[in-house]
């Protein structure tokens, strides 16, 4: 993880006090937030989803990659420091090591969701309401990304995306 943080050493560091909101659900920043030190909680719709204290943990990735508002809030539990990368797509394009790290993080999350859904399906074999789990699993395993529409053009026409 230190190698990842070394890649980011020239990017500004932002300090947050304990209890401070770093990301607010439904805000649209387009930024990636990378934890350097500290501990945070991730809250979606007022429900605690997870906690993280791992240096290099990435937040805001779904919003930045999909061009949507943040899907959850991130709040500090103790004083914490972050790298905030305001133009996530450009930074990911220019830093393959960071992009690979994010791919690994997302693949790990997807694997966890797949395992969870398979476990749920096993627990409820024979119940009719499991068709939703089948649909979710099918979507996770086979869905291709939709073209991302930006104010200037679609990704299919954006030469930066095709590089």
- pLDDT per position as a tens digit, 60-97: 999 999 999 999 999 999 999 999 998 888 888 988 88
Q: What is the pLDDT of residues 14-63, one digit of tens each?
A: 999 999 999 999 999 989 999 999 999 999 999 999 999 998 899 999 99
Report the pLDDT value the prediction gives residue 48, as an integer from 0 to 100. Answer: 93
Confidence of residue 131 (pLDDT cuts 50, 70, 90): low
DSSP the chain: -HHHHHHTTTS-EEEE-TT-EEE-TT-----EEEEEES-EEEEETTEEEEEE--TT-EESHHHHHHT---SSEEEESS-EEEEEESSHHHHHHH-HHHHHHHHHHHHHHHHHHHHHHHHHHHHTTT-GGGHHHHHHHHHHHHPPPPPPB-SS-BTTT-HHHH-
Question: What is the distance, to the nearest Å, from the Cα of residue 5 to the centroid of all Cα atoms in its chain?
Answer: 17
Mean pLDDT of 135-147: 57
């Amino acid at each position: 993880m230190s190698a990842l943080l070394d890649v980011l050493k020239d990017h500004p560091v932002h300090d947050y006090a304990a209890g401070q909101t770093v990301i607010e659900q439904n805000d649209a920043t387009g930024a990636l937030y990378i934890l350097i030190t500290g501990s945070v909680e991730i809250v979606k719709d007022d429900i605690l989803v997870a906690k993280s204290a791992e240096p290099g943990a990435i937040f805001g990735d779904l919003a930045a990659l999909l061009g949507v508002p943040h899907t959850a809030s991130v709040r500090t539990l103790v004083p914490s420091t972050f790298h905030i990368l305001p133009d996530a797509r450009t930074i990911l394009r220019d830093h393959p090591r960071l992009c690979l790290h994010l791919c690994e993080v997302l693949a790990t999350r997807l694997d966890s969701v797949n395992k969870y859904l398979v476990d749920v399906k096993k627990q409820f074999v024979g119940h009719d309401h499991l068709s939703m789990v089948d649909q979710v699993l099918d979507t996770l395993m086979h869905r291709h990304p939709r073209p991302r529409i930006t104010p200037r053009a679609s990704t299919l026409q954006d030469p930066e995306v095709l590089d």
